[in-house]
Amino acid sequence: MAHDFIKDTCERVKDHASRKAPLAIRGGGTKAFLGALPAGEPLEVAGYAGIVAYEPRELVLVVRAGTRLAEVEAALAAEGQALAFEPPRFGEAATIGGTVACNLSGPRRPYAGAARDFVLGARIVNGRGEDLSFGGRVIKNVAGYDVSRLMAGAYGTLGVVTELSFKVLPRPPAEATLAFEMDEPAMIAAVNQWAGQPLPLSATAWESGVLRVRLSGAASAVAAARAKLGGAEVADGPAYWEALREHRLPFFDPARPLWRLSVAQTAAPIAAGHPQLVEWGAGLRWVSGDLGAARARELAAAARGHATLFRGGDRAAGVFHPLDPAIAKIHRRLKEAFDPAGVLNPGRMDNF
Amino acid sequence: MNATSPPAATPERQAQVASALAARLPAHAVLTAKEDLRPYECDGLSAYRQTPLVAALPGTVAEAAEVLRVARETGTPVVARGSGTGLSGGALPLADGILLSLGKFNRILAIDPLARTLRAQPGVRNAQITEAAAPLGLYYAPDPSSQIACSIGGNVAENSGGVHCLKYGLTVHNVQKVRALTIEGDDVGIGSDALDAPGYDLLALAHGSEGLLALVTEVTVKLLPKPQTAQVVMTSFMDVEAAGEAVAAVIGAGIVPAGLEMMDKLATAAAEDFVHAGYDLEAEAILLCESDGTPEEVAEEIAKITAVMREAGCTAFAVSASEAERLRFWSGRKAAFPAVGRISPDYYCIDGSIPRGALSKVLRRIAELSAHYGLRCANVFHAGDGNLHPLILYDANVPGEFEKTEEFAGDILDLSIEVGGTITGEHGVGVEKIRQMCTQFRPAELAQFHAVKAAFDPQGLLNPGKAVPTLNRCADYGAMRVHRGQLPHPDLPRF
């Protein structure tokens, strides 16, 4: 059955490639809102699910891409471990493959790394319908180009991800959430200064004049940092971070377009004229409102970053930040290198 | 794949390429005399030597771009070189190619204390970065053992590791962006000043690409706050299985040590003889396990590590009581390669990565192979992340011994693949392990690698012939190699 899925997927992709007929890769369908509009005949991949190998003492997990994120995290939690990039789900059907394809990371990202940082290996079906494996199950591996990490954030446009291996980490034994009344410039200075000190930071979020900071680590380290930083202890910390991760806070008004401005952490406050929530040590500025693509990109570029229309708004106008022409040229050729017939999720990354 | 071979390395050809370079670079930046080319004939893998057609020493990005332009216009391959400390021959020159030295790119361009970033030219030494960051209470985490000499550009090309990778990651996890020249003449930024960049993760591709995709001209690294304190636990074990089990138990206890290293008896003896660190010479294996962080954190973690090691049956045990003692415990491990160099005329370092659980099996097979080939082998092991460095001791002056050593090394790499690992954890493929790439990857995967290269370098001029073998070359190697653990004749004894 498992073997058949890969074989069938290869055949299906080959067939579509021969006819230049696009395929829209679909896992749990929870990220359909993300990226440019999917086009093509659906290629369902959620059925290829299950943990292939998990040896907690190796800190390595091998999993089929259709496995639900919830299932993966439950298996890790049973051993006191976790995906350190704290991925959002945006729905219970979310799969591990979709998470990597969109390179989605949660509040812990600036302090632990992004989804791409934890990918050790990937098995893919490329646009020629070939079943290929890259990377592996070991933490250090420099044999060949890092194609597995390249799959993270490629939105399925370079390959159908069928299996993934990850480095996993122990869950921190202790956590605490502190709150500070602070305006935005003071917050930006504080979170950057703190990140330069040996403090067990694991998340920051600022909205409406309140900065929340999460500390994670050894109980003694968390206690010492709490004493050093001051602030008010937040009772419902875990619930807050989960609501932030899943975009369930009131800030994330589904009726309004949501812009994601990923910028230099030290960039000055951005005058977007709409409500903002700032996380990732001030490196991620969510803007809730009809900012408009041109304005969003201009603001992000001025802050040495890039803008993505994350949810809602006019997706036909392009959701990602336009690429430098020389970089775009490499992108076109990479797309061609993996998917010469252009059948894998074409256009999901605007031009790729 | 669609690259055509450059013209042969004749004196006329050399004059042609050299004059094209001389027209665009300062006079002293183009070398053609045999004695001037000699210093570039090898990198850290000195068993392979080749003088280049021409060496170019650009001093600016504009000059480096001119070198690439000459390469493009004359169809001449280019091999970039940083400090030349690489261990896989990645910077081995080509007889018909330009050797592009980045030796003059040795300046730190900017440090941003608030953003915790440092922008450096590619020839800046790894240790120089941490030295520059130290007054700010910051440091650069990846610390390959060659850190006093190796360059940051080379670290990107090889995706270098070190002893702290399990906790702090590899080079790819600690670089925010690079500036690079493509062979087509574009000056591109890869990565960004933000935590991510739009589009495909070209930064991941650049890391470990061994100079085959682009020429890196600037590297912006992330700096981390220097841990307030660090302590190391040194333990002895009477057999390597028990030591391997202790490593697994440490990880199993939810500890991610800052460093976790193993040395076998031969490596320990060589190191002790060299640095007098006070190692236990009776032990079959010693483990060094480091904890870093706040004083509270370290105290808590050291207590946990102590308990796990005792439970695992260590026969001797010491915790560093001072920074001087910590450095002394580490000194032998950090100097393990030169130490082994003192007990043998030559040694050959291998870089396989294996699942930690396979350690005992692999070490047993290495011991068998050692007996079979009649060559001693000392093992040092980044035990925390599964990266094994067997050092085969040989004498290059004994006819046939290097060939035997290479065969032994090839067997160890095949073994690494067989147990689910990889042929190179951190040293790169270069020219050294190109043959084993045919074992680790199938033809379609190698073809995909070539297609990736062509996306950056359609003419195939950047470091051709390294890192990824052609399919023809693999066919030539024959069918007698292990493939994914499947021998053609699994019932036959192999040695």
Hey, are the CB atoms on A196 and B251 less than 8 Å from each other?
no
Same domain, A241 and A165: no
Kindly give the interhelix angle for B401-418 and B359-373, rounded to the nearest 10 degrees: 160
Residues of the domain holding B216:
108-225
Please give the interface size between A and B, counted as residue pairs whose CB atoms are below 8 Å apart.
267
DSSP states of A261-297 as a string?
Answer: EE--TTPPPP--SS-EEEETTTTEEEEES---HHHHH
On whether both B148 and B251 belong to a single domain, the answer is: no
Flag whether residue A302 sits within 8 Å of chain B, measured between CB atoms.
Answer: no
B116 shares a domain with B200? yes
Give the residue from A268, A190, A142, A258 showing the smallest Cα distance to B440: A142
In a domain? residue A294: yes
Residues B114 and B97 in one domain: no
At residue A316, the pLDDT reads 84
Q: Which CATH number covers residue B133?
A: 3.30.465.10
Question: What was the pLDDT predicted at B388?
Answer: 94
Report the pLDDT value the prediction gives residue B285, as an integer from 0 to 100.
96
Contact A145 B451 (CB under 8 A): no
Q: Do A51 and A67 contact (CB within 8 A), yes or no?
A: yes
Chain A contact set for B248 (CB, 8 A): 57
- Residue of chain B nearest A141, judged by CA positions: B425
Q: Is residue A349 part of a domain?
A: no
Q: Do A92 and A121 reside in the same domain of the chain? A: yes
pLDDT at A3: 58
DSSP string, A130-167: -EEEEE-SSS---SS--HHHHHTTSTTSS-EEEEEEEE
Residues B169 and A117: beta-carbon distance below 8 Å: yes
Residue A78 located in a structural domain = yes
Residues B469, B351 share a domain: yes
What residues make up the domain containing A114?
2-170
Alpha-carbon torsion B177, B181, B184, B188, what sign? positive
Contacting A residues, span 159-198, partner chain B, CB-CB under 8 Å: 169-171, 173, 189, 192-193, 195-198
The single-letter DSSP state of residue B38 is: G
Residue B130 lies in a domain: yes
pLDDT, tens digit, for every residue of A136-153? Answer: 999 999 999 999 999 999
Confidence of residue A2 (pLDDT cuts 50, 70, 90): low
- Enclosing H/E stretch for B177: strand B175-181
B261 and B198 housed in the same domain: no
pLDDT at A16 over 70: yes
Which region holds residue A91: left if phi is over 0, alpha if psi is between -120 and 50, else beta? left
What is the rounded CA–CA span in Å between residue B192 and residue B203?
9
Indicate if A72 and A114 belong to the same structural domain. yes
Question: In the predicted model, what is the mean pLDDT of residues A117-127?
Answer: 98
| Last residue in a domain, options B85, B101, B117 | B101
- Indicate whether this complex's ipTM tops 0.90: yes
Q: In which residue ranges of chain B is pLDDT below 70?
A: 1-4, 478-495
- Dist. CA A250–CA A244, nearest whole Å: 9
Q: What is the identity of the amino acid at A209?
A: G
CA distance B75 to chain A (A): 21
Of A137, A199, A321, the CB nearest to B198: A321
Could you tell me if B455 and A337 are in contact, meaning their C-beta atoms sit under 8 angstroms apart? yes
Helix orientation angle between B61-74 and B11-22, rounded to the nearest 10 degrees: 140
- Among B225, B257, B273, which residue terminates a domain? B225
- The reply to whether A66 and A44 lie within a common domain is yes
Q: Are residues B469 and B357 in the same domain?
A: yes
Q: Are residues B82 and B161 in the same domain?
A: no
Domain boundary among A114, A146, A170: A170
Check CB contact under 8 Å for A338 and B228: no
> Residue B275 maps to which CATH number?
3.30.70.2190
**Interatomic CA distance for residues A103 and A287, integer angstroms:** 20
pLDDT for A187-213, tens place per residue?
999 999 999 999 999 999 999 999 999
Q: How many domains does chain B have?
A: 4
The chain A residue lying nearest B382, using CA atoms, is A140
| A258 touches B at CB < 8 Å | no
For residues B160 and B146, state if they share a domain. Answer: yes
Q: Are B386 and A138 in contact (CB under 8 A)?
A: yes
For residue A109, what is the domain's CATH number? Answer: 3.30.465.10
Instruction: For residue B412, give Cα distances in angstroms to A294, B178, B330, B409.
Output: 56, 35, 26, 5
Tell me if B53 sits within 8 A of B97, measured CB to CB.
Answer: yes
A32-38 mean pLDDT: 92
Last residue within a domain, chosen from B170, B200, B225: B225
Q: How many separate domains does chain A show?
A: 2
Percent helix, strand, coil in chain B (nearest 5)?
40, 20, 40
* Phi, psi angles (nearest 5°) of residue B280: -80, 110
